[in-house]
Amino acid sequence: MSEQRKPTDEYVIIRHQPGYRLRRAVILVVFTVIAAAAGYAAGLAQGGFRFTSAEASNEQLEAKVATLEANYREARQQLVNLERGKLIDEQALNQARKIIVDLETRAGALKSDLTFYKNIMAPSETSKGLQVDRFSLASDRQVGVYNFKLVLTQVGNNKSYISGVVAVNIIGARDGEKEIIALRDLSQEIEALGVKFRFRYFQDVEGKLALPDGFEPLEVQVVAQAEGRKSSQAERTFSWDDLTEK
């Protein structure tokens, strides 16, 4: 008995086309490749533009850096020149100051010498004859050791020589007691209590003295005694602080 078709069953007739699916797949692949190539080209174009812009910006920055470096080198050189000029100016100024100080010192010394000789050649009425002109001290490198210089002058009548002896004593204290020490006992250059002198205008007595331990000097006493026809005496006392102050 044959099978009967039901009214609800439908049949669809599809035309058979050999190779259709294959062609469709190939077309999809081609379109995909074309789209990828287009996207890649666009990306290259965009990337090339960005690279060109970055390269231009880099060149501008390099130019600015080069300009800044040149300005820095110029400013640095100007600073070096100014520092050198300042150093030269300071050296010249210090040298000028030193020259001025030296000239002032020499001028002071010359004025002192001029006064010294004027007093000898043209003295006042109250300062004629033998005079203790000055006594000076200069500190030595050793503690308690000093270089001394005594100057005796003959003021007024200088036609003949004046001679005699001069004694120098250092007055001070030790252990709370007053003590007088003769220059002979402090200096190797002085051998006698009285140093002999003979001159027409002036005479210097120079040497070095060393103070004993524990001795505190207060004054220097100078007594000069002329002998013979010009017999006279000159005495002068100097403060130790005044002699040693700087």
Q: Tokens in use for 95?
A: 């040298």
pLDDT of amino acid 1: 47
pLDDT of amino acid 45: 53
pLDDT of amino acid 34: 62
Name which of 29-43, 77-91, 163-177, 181-195 the model is least confident about. Answer: 29-43
- pLDDT value at 178 more than 90: yes
- pLDDT value at 216 more than 80: yes
Number of CB atoms found within 10 A of residue 217's CB: 23
Distant-in-sequence, close-in-space partners of 215: CB < 8 Å, separation ≥ 6: 172, 173, 174, 179, 181
| Percent above pLDDT 70 for the chain | 70
Instruction: Kindly provide the b/e burial profile for residues 64-102, where b requires at least 16 CB atoms within 10 angstroms of the residue's own CB.
Output: eeeeeeeeeeeeeeeeeeeeeeeeeeeeeeeeeeeeeee
203 bridge partner residues: 152
| Distance in angstroms between the alpha carbons of the first and the last residue of the chain | 157
pLDDT in tens, 121-157: 655 555 678 889 899 999 888 888 999 999 998 887 7
pLDDT in tens, 79-117: 888 877 777 777 777 887 888 888 878 777 777 666 666
pLDDT in tens, 182-193: 999 999 888 888
pLDDT of amino acid 159: 80
Tell how strand 202-210 and strand 145-155 pair up: antiparallel
Alpha-carbon distance values, 223 to 56, 195, 242 (Å): 100, 10, 19
Sign of the four-CA dihedral 54, 57, 62, 63: positive
Band of residue 2 on the pLDDT scale cut at 50, 70, 90: very low
Band of residue 20 on the pLDDT scale cut at 50, 70, 90: low
pTM: 0.54
Task: Kindly report the average pLDDT of the chain as a whole number.
Answer: 78
